[in-house]
Amino acid sequence: MNEHWWRSAVIYQIYVRSFADSDGDGVGDLPGIRSRLPHVKELGVDGIWLTPFYPSPGADHGYDVSDYVDVDPQFGTLDDFDALVADAHRLGLRVIVDIVPNHTSNEHQWFRNAVSDPQHPDRARYIFRPGRDGEPPNVWTSAFGGPAWTLDDASGEYYLHLFTPEQPDLDWHNGRVREDFEEILRFWLDRGVDGFRIDVGQALYKAPDLHDVHQPEPRPAFADWHTGINQAEVHGLYRSWRRLADSYPDERMYVGEVVLENQVELAKYVRPDELQLTFNFTFLYEDWNAKALRARIERTLEAFGAVGATASWVLENHDVTRLPTRYGGGEEGRRRARAATLLLLGLPGAAFLYQGQELGLEEVELPDELRQDPVFFRTNGARKGRDGCRVPIPWSGGPPGFGFTAGSPWLPIPADWTALSAEAQEGSPQSSLALHRAALELRRRIDALRTGSFAWRESPSGTLLFERASGNETIVCVVNLNAEHLQLPDGELLLASEPAPGNLLPPSSAAWTRV
Ligand code: NOJ
């Protein structure tokens, strides 16, 4: 079937500072990524998503952008970016870049102007308000802990930041902000990017009255509770962004980081004239539980189907604990993660893989003194933060550099990752890398898996069984979460995450069978 490439694409997320370092400073960079593109190609994905590489003081590791149309010197140059895109395209890989429109860095020239002179027109790009009885203007809290407002001493007014104080929120009700971002999108579209991942996609517009919204304790992973964000205006903005993308050749696309649990609300972002994709984070916070996962899948397919959109599936990214660790860690955690790979890639729609997921990397327990994530500091250590999933990739060899760097990696790579390096897994048919490659190869080759219809089949409790069908081909995906050994359907066993002697699939494993 000839369909929009993004509908069933598998996109590989590259966390730029942790992927590959070409100059020995211990921090990943664009030339490093170029040198490792063959790994990505061989893995068999359709494209890459690059996390922010723009000039940034690094308060939130690049999600605090001080210039949207350049490359931070620690990551390379615009020429390096162009060369990376050219190489990727030559290999048949699409390139998605991250756009951060909710907030800038406090060192962006706009914000510098805004605080240096309250009369400066750039002040209106941000949300400055007088305090209330000596307190911030409302009770909103930052996603990273503490109040969402910081006092601008010079003017006596507060400014809003949903994240760190170094990430002041833009005021999207200001038409100039809208115009500027259109320019920024054009800049990258003209340079040949295939699309954008939109950071904090649901929060750009704030309710104009900035009404009090009390944060539930503990703060939920999803933003549905926050009635001051997820405003209707954002849909008009995304319609205009879609028109912009559609004015370019070769189907440029958007994937929204829309952190909403309500799938009906989420699906609004992917109505036919809005974004093509939105992440669906429901698997990130779900246990290894057949009933719960099935309910999530059903809700997603129903809500996305209702608006004619393709679903998407995510198990890992740079903001959450690595999957094998979430699933209990150790050998059992790793088995479950391998099984989940066949679930992820067996479901209909687009899928996202996070660098290192293909190697089965676990979360790294770092000593507090090495932590860098502002989440750790702003919560006084109550939340450990996200450094543990951002440890650089072990490519080959051993400590300290593991082929990631000739120097010392910005976060230490655990010594016992020697056996997990890409080089060590290469050639081992039992490895996580081999499983990912095999699954992606089948998904590319078999239409039923990639674009076929979806239907549940009956299965015992503790298992998931569904089929994907196209033409006269049917593939059955079986996931045995925690039932007894499960009889696989008759047919040709294409791939299993664990050996299935006698066609009996053990617990914590999954398989694809052609029936
Ligand atoms: C979501 C990004 O994934 C995360 O890493 C970042 O800290 C926040 N948005 C703020 O930009």
Pocket of ligand 1 (CB under 6 A): 60, 63, 100, 163, 199-200, 257, 318-319
The dihedral over CA atoms of 275, 236, 127, 377, expressed in degrees to the nearest 10, equals -20
pLDDT, position 401: 98
Residue of 157, 199, 261, 316 marked catalytic? 199
* Residues 353, 288: Cα–Cα separation, whole Å: 18
Give me the chain's average pLDDT, please. 97
Whether the predicted pLDDT of 3 surpasses 90: no
* Residues 444, 5: Cα–Cα separation, whole Å: 12
* Residues 484, 505: Cα–Cα separation, whole Å: 9
- Considering just the CA atoms, what is the radius of gyration of the chain in Å? 23
Confidence of residue 466 (pLDDT cuts 50, 70, 90): very high
- Measured in angstroms, how far is the CA atom of residue 456 from the centroid of ligand 1? 35
- Measured in angstroms, how far is the CA atom of residue 158 from the centroid of ligand 1? 22
Closest residue by CA, ligand 1 atom 6: 63
Closest residue by CA, ligand 1 atom 2: 199
pLDDT, position 55: 98
- Measured in angstroms, how far is the CA atom of residue 95 from the centroid of ligand 1? 19
Beginning with the edge strand found earlier in the chain, give each strand of the sheet holding 463-470 in spatial order: 453-456, 463-470, 473-480, 509-514, 492-496
Whether the predicted pLDDT of 427 surpasses 90: no
| Closest residue by Cα to residue 172 from 208, 148, 220, 143 | 208
Neighbours of 91 (CB within 10 A): 12
Tokens 């395209």 sit at which residue? 89
| Closest residue by Cα to residue 393 from 363, 436, 356 | 356
* Residues 424, 422: Cα–Cα separation, whole Å: 6
pLDDT, position 215: 97
- Do the beta carbons of residue 480 and residue 510 sit within 8 Å? yes
Measure the N-to-C terminal CA separation of the chain; round to a whole number of Å: 21
- Out of 17, 200, 375, mutate this one to test ligand 1's pocket (max ligand atoms within 8 Å of CB): namely 200
Q: Which atom of ligand 1 is nearest to the CA of 100?
A: 11
pLDDT, position 1: 43
Residues above pLDDT 90, as percent of the chain = 99
Which residues is 48 bridged to in the sheet? 12, 95
Question: What's the whole-number mean pLDDT along residues 258-275?
Answer: 97
Question: What's the whole-number mean pLDDT along residues 440-449?
Answer: 98
* Residues 167, 102: Cα–Cα separation, whole Å: 9
Q: Which atom of ligand 1 is nearest to the CA of 200?
A: 9
pLDDT, position 109: 98
Confidence of residue 167 (pLDDT cuts 50, 70, 90): very high
Q: Which atom of ligand 1 is nearest to the CA of 60?
A: 7
Residue of 46, 166, 171, 257 marked catalytic? 257
pLDDT in tens, 302-361: 999 999 999 999 999 999 999 999 999 999 999 999 999 999 999 999 999 999 999 999
Q: In the chain, how many H helices and how many E strands?
A: 13, 18
Closest residue by CA, ligand 1 atom 5: 319
Residue type, 93: L
pLDDT in tens, 73-121: 999 999 999 999 999 999 999 999 999 999 999 999 999 999 999 999 9
User: What is the CA 467 to chain-centroid distance, rounded?
Assistant: 27
Active site residue 257: yes
- Measured in angstroms, how far is the CA atom of residue 447 from the centroid of ligand 1? 35
* Residues 54, 56: Cα–Cα separation, whole Å: 6
Residues above pLDDT 70, as percent of the chain = 100
- Do the beta carbons of residue 311 and residue 293 sit within 8 Å? no
pLDDT in tens, 16-74: 999 999 999 999 999 999 999 999 999 999 999 999 999 999 999 999 999 999 999 99
- Measured in angstroms, how far is the CA atom of residue 52 from the centroid of ligand 1? 10
pLDDT, position 69: 98
pLDDT, position 510: 98
Bridge-based pairing state of the strands 94-99 and 47-50: parallel
- Do the beta carbons of residue 167 and residue 60 sit within 8 Å? yes
